[in-house]
Amino acid sequence: MDEGRFGRISQLAACWAPMPVRPKVPRQIVRESLYAFAAVVPAPGKLVYRLSAKCNTEAMSLFLLDVLEAWPDSPVLLVLDGAGWHKARTLPVPDRLILMHLPPYCPECNPTEHIWDEVREKGFANHLFATLEAVQVRLIIQLEELAADTPRLRGLTHFSWLSPKLLYV
Sign of CA dihedral 81, 126, 54, 50: negative
pTM: predicted TM-score of the whole model, two decimal places: 0.84
Tell me, what's the pLDDT at 85? 85
Preceding omega of 20 cis (within 30 degrees of 0) = yes
Q: Is 47 part of a structural domain of the chain?
A: yes
The CATH number of the domain holding residue 144 is: 3.30.420.10
Q: Is 168 inside a domain boundary? A: no
3-state secondary structure of 48: strand
Contact between 149 and 115 (Cβ < 8 Å): no
pLDDT of residue 21: 86
Res 63: pLDDT: 96
**Structural domain contains residue 117:** yes
Is 161 a member of any domain? Answer: no
Domain that holds residue 94: 2-154
Within 8 A by CB and 6+ apart from 71, the residues are 169
Instruction: Please give the average pLDDT of every successive group of 10 residues along the chain, which has 169 residues.
Output: 87 78 77 93 91 95 95 89 86 90 84 91 88 96 96 87 55
Instruction: Please check whether residue 164 lies inside any domain of the structure.
Output: no
For residue 164, the SS3 value is helix
Total domains in the fold of the chain = 1
Q: Is 135 exposed, middle or buried (0-12, 13-18, 19+ CB in 10 A)?
A: buried
Does residue 36 fall inside a structural domain?
Answer: yes
Residue 66 lies in a domain: yes
Asked whether residue 8 is assigned to any structural domain, the reply reads: yes
The pLDDT assigned to 162 comes to 64
Q: How far apart are CA 122 and CA 142, in angstroms?
A: 8
